[in-house]
Every structure is written in structure tokens, then in C-alpha cells.
A and B are shown apart, each in its own frame.
Chain A
């Protein structure tokens, strides 16, 4: 009886990248074809086309009732795999067998219409996700209760707060009752309490009701909590398949040194009057890949370029939630005067003492000021993730610690002067 719920064999998906720009209109295409023909006649070669294999030769199977996590870096093929599994796009080669009704939730609130009321959107969204009218009717009250929006059922969803919107959207999807549920990254939105509720619901769906779940997330913590098995993708290939802990460890270990240093060349900067000092790049010291274990200190090395000798520089660093809300910030003048900077490239170090930030994603904003005014300011300069460690079970997790940490943070210049 135990036939796998999902069987994937030799699955590949190819995208063709054209090295001449994309052709969104007919004129471009005609123009391009003409040039291609000309080049062929003249030199015997057309424009280069490059094949990009978003997935190559993926095979795995999932048993009914299993919760399979899929992890991998951005661009590893996770989303493509889900799109192929949900029939949104066709595979290039390979075969997939799905036993049972499939529902996929690649985005929260797909098809919600802002002008329609909550009630109307429940029906619309349910139908889009593949529910029948009668099924939606039967579960209507449950959906409303889960979403906690009873009072606003007849309000257009454009007036909903983003939290209500997400709750309602997830509630509809959670009551789909498919045999196979495919969930992508949808829990990244919403507050932590609601995320917990969603995870609980997914767990209930799989354990109590024996449904199969495929779960993709960047949040390794929830993958670890939820999944009974994890497959790891890297560059479109299956890099690992097994117990969550092993796969997550392998995923973290697979970090390369190259993206540990972040360059600000393409970062969005606020407008600044003076351009004597510019931030070049940053590294997190002691930990790879911008992953900070819970309970450890955060050490940043900031590389700056100074155009002419300047003193009294004031460096500022702020820690924010992934949504951009500031948690705490610090200024170098609170701590020490870093002296005169001659023209050239310098390094500035910032150390935040052990911050018991709850595991999750955070951002760092950086700025530097001189007597001439703001020199350089990059509001969303860096991203890092606090990951669970042995300590995280013992200590309370802080989320908002404005001020407290900031005064303890310390600045220094190059290592030798420390």
C-alpha cells in the first residue's frame, strides 16, 4: 500500500538565456532576427544562446505523511522545483508522479483582490487554490476563526493591515486539505506569533492527518523544527538528502569565502553632501557567511576609502529587524575618537557584545559623518542571520533592546592599533 506520494525521476529544467537583450516587443524580435541572419551569412554564427539548467537530473521520492524540507542558497533551484511540481511550468526532461490532490502555496494571497471584501476573497482565493465552492462553504467558519478577522469580513481587504491580510491568506490555504501540500517561503511574512501558528498548522496537517508536505524556507530553524527529512539543492543539483540536522549542517558548511565579504559597490546609498569618505566593503569576523550563532558577539570589519586627510569622523551602525525596524544603534563618538584618517583605504572595527537576538534575519545600516555633514549612508547595507545554538534554549531571547547594547558597543581602527 505504501506507494510514494511523490516520485520525481531525472527531472531537469532548462531556461535559455539570450545574450542579446530580451525581446519584449515584436520590433525588437524582428530586428534581432534580421541581425542574426546577417551575422549568420557574414560570419557563420548567430548570437550566443546560453542554456541555463535551473534543475538538472533531480530524483527523489516522498512517502505519504512525510514533511520534506528543501534548502539551498538563492538560485539553487528551489523555486523552480516547486514551480515544476505545482505544474506552473513544464519540466524539460524527466517525470513526476503525484499521488493525490496537490495544492501549492507559493505565495500568500495569490489572487486576492484589494477591492473585494474578506468574505469574497476567501471564496475567490479558495477557488484559485483549487477548492470547490461547497468545500469553501463548509470550512468558511474555521477559516475565519483561524484568521481572526471576524469583525472585518465585509471590509475590502485593501483596508486590512498587512498582518490581517497575511493571516487571512494563510488561513484559506491552511484549510485546503489536499493530499500533498507544497509551501514556499510564505511564512517569512507576518509576525512571529503568527508564524508559530502557521508552523503548528502545517505540523498538524502532516502528523495528524497524514498529509504530505513539501516545505521550502530560508529559515533553517523552522525547517529543523518541522521537517522529517531534508533535501539540499546546489546549482540545480541534488546535493544531499537525509536527516534535517545533517543537511542543515552541510548547508551551513558549504559557505564559500567569496560572499563573506560584502561589497557596497551596488548598494543603495542615501544622498550625501560630502564625498570624502566612502564605505567599500564589510566582513563579519569570526563567522562565515553572515551567520551568527545565538549568544556570540558580532564583530564587523568595515573598509572605507578616504579621499583626503580628515579627522573627527563619526561612524554609526544600526541593527534592524529584517523588516527594517531599528533595534539599536551606536555611534563611534560614544566610545572613542578614532583620530585622523589620511587619504587611502582604512579599516574600522565595530564590536557588539553578545546580543541575545532571537534567531532570525536582521539588517545592518551604516553611516559616516564628518564636519562637512553626512559623508556616506547605506541604510540596508548588510544582512545577517542569527542561528540557534546550544545557548538559545537556556537564555531569554531579546528582540528589542534599544540603547542597552548600543552603549557597550566599541569601535577601533586597524587591528594593530588595538
Chain B
């Protein structure tokens, strides 16, 4: 190793590291390893392994079909109601598990944070991987079901990754806020399940909004409404409508959440090791 051109690092008080983003890139392997660890551990410890990713949404589908389809008698159009619910659950589960994961990631990795340096953003980012794997498993099961009960997917399916990405960005943005806040105030971890619980009903997971013209605008204020409707539209090959103002709302709030989330996270990041 040539000793003449050693990288020099200057640590100075109050100066945010100028090369933070480059550092984050340099530590991309760590991000990968943390993600790999989460995935591995998740499936190693659970007896039922992968089936968790299936059982949970299956039960939820039955329940929501019963509540919205049978009890509330929401309109289904010419689609089987369970399929509407399943397509709604897919992005919703992706969002909730990513949001939960990112939100609790810092406190869950506190032993690392107080002992090793790395750009702390690697932790919440890596936590998203587990939810993506679950999403992929669930998707692999949903697609054949849709083929059987609804019909072949169309070109709209190609846009699915974009919607999934949008769900992840919203989850990460909100998760960064929660993660940074939980380091200082542990009671923010109680907010996550609360948001998820409420969100389940104000997001069109168990019903479609194209038959509810009176409520559509209000429901679209929820950034996830656009995502869920979008996924349903892409999985069902356009058999349900996509509500563009709602989608625009999703994109704008996703960007807003991510930017402010990163801003707050970066602002508080330097104290993490001292107060965690």
C-alpha cells in the first residue's frame, strides 16, 4: 500500500461531514449486510418461515372481505371481492412492514450505533429489505390467483415497481422521522401501531374508491390512497380506475416526507450515540 497518498480525514466540531453521501455509498456493502442479516434472522428464527408472509395477508383478506364486502356491502363491480382486497393488501402490507421496520431500526441497532461509526442512514435503509422480500413472496402467490379469478394481467403490471417504490419512499420518509424521534423519545414507538391501525381504514385497502365519488377527494388526501389504488389498477390490468389527483398527492407527499425525514434525521444523527 503506498503510504504517500493515505486518505486524510478531518473531524471537526459542528461541521457536518461534507462527504456524507459519499460515505453512505462507500458503506453500501454494510447496508447490504445489515439487510441480509435481517432477512436471514427473520426466516431462521420463525418456525413457519416464509409462510408468515402468506398466512397474515390470507387471514386479513378473509376478514376484510367479510367486513367490507359482506357486512358493509361495498360495491365490487364485476370483480370477486377477495381479489380487490388482496390487491389492496399487497401495497398496504409492504408499507406497514417497511414503516415499522424503519421506525424501530435505530433503537433495535443501538448496540451498533454506540460502538461503531457508519452513516446512520444505512440502518433504516437496510431495514426496508425484509419488507421487500415479504412483498415478493406475497406477490408470487397473488399473481396466479389473479390469473385464475380475474384474468391475465396487462401492460399495467410493468408499472407495479414504481408504485411499490412509492410505497417504500413514503414508508422510509415517515420511518426516518419516527426512528430519529424514538432515539430521544421512546414513546414515539407507540405512534407507529396507532398510525397503522387508523391507516388501515382510511386507506382504500378493503374497498375501491372509484364507486365512491363523494369520498374520493377526501380519501385522496391520504398519501397511501394513491399508491394502493395504483397497485390495484396495475395488478387488475386497469379493471379498476386510477385516480390521478390522488396519485399526484402521493408523489408530492412522498417527496416531502423523504426530504424532511432525511433533514431531521441528519440534524439529530450526531447525537444518536450520546443519547441512545
A interface list, Cβ under 8 A from B: 1, 15, 23-27, 29, 64, 83-102, 104, 106-107, 110-111, 113, 115-116, 120, 123-124, 127-130, 132-133, 179
Contact = CB atoms under 8 A, between A and B. Distances in A.
Given A104-B116, A107-B115, A95 B12 contact: yes
A274 to B, nearest CB: 43
Contacts of B40: 115-116, 120
A285 to B, nearest CB: 40
A113 B41 contact: yes
A29 B184 CA distance: 10
Nearest to B190: A25
B218 interface: no
A101 B274 contact: no
B6 to A, nearest CB: 4
A88 B117 contact: yes
9 contacts: A1-B4, A23-B185, A27-B187, A29-B185, A92-B13, A96-B10, A115-B41, A120-B40, A129-B116
B270 A124 contact: no
Nearest to A123: B33
Contact of B185 (A24, A93, A104, A111): A24
Across the A-B interface, give the 10 residue pairs with the lowest CB-CB distance, nearest first: A87-B117, A127-B33, A25-B187, A96-B11, A100-B6, A26-B185, A98-B9, A110-B115, A89-B273, A88-B273
Contact of B8 (A97, A113, A123): A97
Nearest to A134: B29
A185 to B, nearest CB: 12
A86 B117 contact: yes
Contacts of A123: 33
B111 A128 contact: no
Contact of A116 (B41, B112, B113, B116): B41
Contacts of A110: 111-112, 115-116
A133 B12 CA distance: 30
A124 B186 CA distance: 28
Contacts of A86: 116-117
Contacts of B6: 99-101, 179
B8 A91 contact: no
Given A15-B274, A88-B117, A104-B117, A25 B111 contact: no
Contacts of A27: 187
B186 A24 contact: yes
Given A15-B274, A104-B117, A127-B34, 16 more contacts: A26-B185, A89-B273, A92-B13, A94-B12, A95-B12, A96-B10, A101-B6, A101-B7, A104-B116, A110-B112, A115-B44, A116-B37, A123-B33, A124-B37, A128-B112, A130-B118
Interface of B: 3-4, 6-14, 27, 29-30, 32-34, 36-37, 40-41, 44-45, 111-118, 184-188, 270, 273-274
A130 B31 CA distance: 11
Contacts of A93: 13
A111 B184 CA distance: 22
B44 to A, nearest CB: 5
A79 B188 CA distance: 30
Nearest to B44: A115
B116 A88 contact: yes
Nearest to A111: B112
A64 B187 CA distance: 47
B33 A115 contact: no
B115 to A, nearest CB: 5
Contacts of A85: 11
Contact of A25 (B33, B112, B185, B273): B185
Nearest to B11: A96
A379 to B, nearest CB: 28
Task: Tell which of B8, B13, B34, B118 has the most Cβ of chain A within 10 Å.
Answer: B13
Nearest to A10: B13
Contacts of A113: 37, 41
B37 A97 contact: no
Contact of B33 (A26, A64, A94, A128): A128
Contacts of B7: 99-101
Given A115-B44, A124-B37, A90 B13 contact: yes
A122 to B, nearest CB: 11
B162 to A, nearest CB: 30
